[in-house]
Structure 1
Amino acid sequence: MSDPHDLDAPAPSETQGRRHTAGAFDIRNFIGALLGLYGVILTLLGIFADKAYDKTGNVNANLYAGIVLLVISAAFIGWARLRPIIVPEHIEPTHEDPTRPAPRRRPSGH
């Protein structure tokens, strides 16, 4: 009787070395970088700028918000590193479709 876990799974030797990830183009990297940038700015404002305790009820809001943003940024970037998006190897090429017009290619004679 055949093993139910071995239905269509490729052999481990076939998949090694061919794994292509989204890398820098993963949206989680962009979100993490943007939140990290805002976190650095707010943390620096919380440390060096006017604290404005009378407006925030004796809480340094910029400092705490900046630290939280830095933690969330680290979580997004860590998530992208630990669980990368695998780009499939076999993607069908798109053909010209009259219902989805695409930019026309120039002839190579120019």
Structure 2
Amino acid sequence: MAEKKKAGAFDIRVVIATLIGLYGVILTVLGIVEKQAEIDKAAGININLWGGIAMLVFAGLFVLWARLRPIAVPVEE
């Protein structure tokens, strides 16, 4: 029976979650410091803030998925 090892940081889901989380943090910060005049241009919706929050939630779900169902890679002898 071959041994298996978790992919860990090399799991593509972790890489995707990191990138989307980084963009989500940037958009959230931009949304918090946005001027009201810019928000009014988008029908009164702070798109940067809501988009950033959605990206952070998405990144969190990806990390949760990677932690709950890790990829097992067979170890060669």
Moved over 2 A (4+): none
Equivalent of 1:67 in 39, 47, 53: 53
1:47 aligns with 2:32: yes
- State the Cα RMSD in Å: 1.8
Structure 1 distance, partners of 2:16, 2:32, is: 24
Kindly indicate whether structure 1 or structure 2 has the higher relative contact order, using CA contacts under 8 Å at least 6 residues apart.
2
Which blocks of at least 5 consecutive residues in structure 1 are unaligned?
1-9, 92-110
Structure 2 distance, partners of 1:50, 1:37, is: 22
1:49 Cα deviation (Å)? 2.6
Residues 24-74 of structure 1: CA deviation (Å, up to 9, x unaligned): 000000000000000000000000132412321000100000000000000
Q: Identify the structure with the greater strand proportion.
A: 2
Identity %: 51
Aligned residues, how many? 76
1:23 aligns with 2:8: yes
Q: TM-score, normalised by structure 2?
A: 0.88
Q: TM-score, normalised by structure 1?
A: 0.63
Structure 2 distance, partners of 1:50, 1:81, is: 38
Which blocks of at least 5 consecutive residues in structure 2 are unaligned?
none
Q: Identify the structure with the greater helix proportion.
A: 2
